Amino acid sequence: MKLRYQILWGFALAFAQGVVSRFLGDNEFIPNAILIITIVGTFSTEEHMKWIVIGWTATILRDIGSSLYPGMMSVSLLLAVGMSIFLTKWLSNENIFGVIINIVLGMTVYYSTYWAISALAGSAYTYLFAAKFWALQIPLSIVFGLIVYHFITKSIKEKRRKERFRKYL
């Protein structure tokens, strides 16, 4: 995929998440679609840079549109994606449990980094106050992440299946 299409996908993803969060109004319980799609895409495919560009573009746009300090979401996302790439060495990307572990750890790194940056910027919220919304957000994000994982890996699994079949002919 060319860079311009990746940036356009980032624009579309930021727009879609902005519309959904404004429409539903309760931002604490909606899964962070940008984070989940970027983490699952980075973890389940070999095209890490494609997903980093899409996620980073979307978070920069969300930062500009809705954050007090631009850059907090994008730095947090880059650390979470770096952790996801690091986990690909030890967890299988063909196993659903590996994807679930990756989603939970990615969310933890993302929101912990986001809280730390906002605390350094002068936010009065405690870590426990920020973490109290995770109880509902993590299960919803896991379900959303597994749906995204199914669609991302559908063509990859079919390709692998054909390659395995050719090997035995």
Cα–Cα dist 149/87, whole Å? 16
Longest dimension (CA), the chain: 64
Cα-based angle 109, 81, 28 (whole degrees, multiple of 5): 50
Distance CA 144, CA 30 (A): 10
Handedness of CA 127, 133, 136, 142 (dihedral sign): negative
The answer to whether residues 66 and 22 touch, using CB atoms and an 8 Å cutoff, is no
pLDDT of amino acid 23: 77
Cβ-based neighbours of 32, under 8 Å, separated by 6 or more: 17, 107, 110, 137, 141
Confidence at residue 164, expressed as pLDDT on a 0 to 100 scale: 65
Please give the pLDDT value at position 169.
56
* pTM for this model (two decimals): 0.85
pLDDT tens string, the chain, 169 residues long: the values are 678 888 888 888 888 888 877 777 656 678 888 899 999 999 988 888 988 999 899 899 888 887 778 888 899 999 999 999 998 888 888 889 999 999 999 999 999 998 899 889 888 888 888 788 887 889 999 999 999 999 888 877 777 677 766 665 5
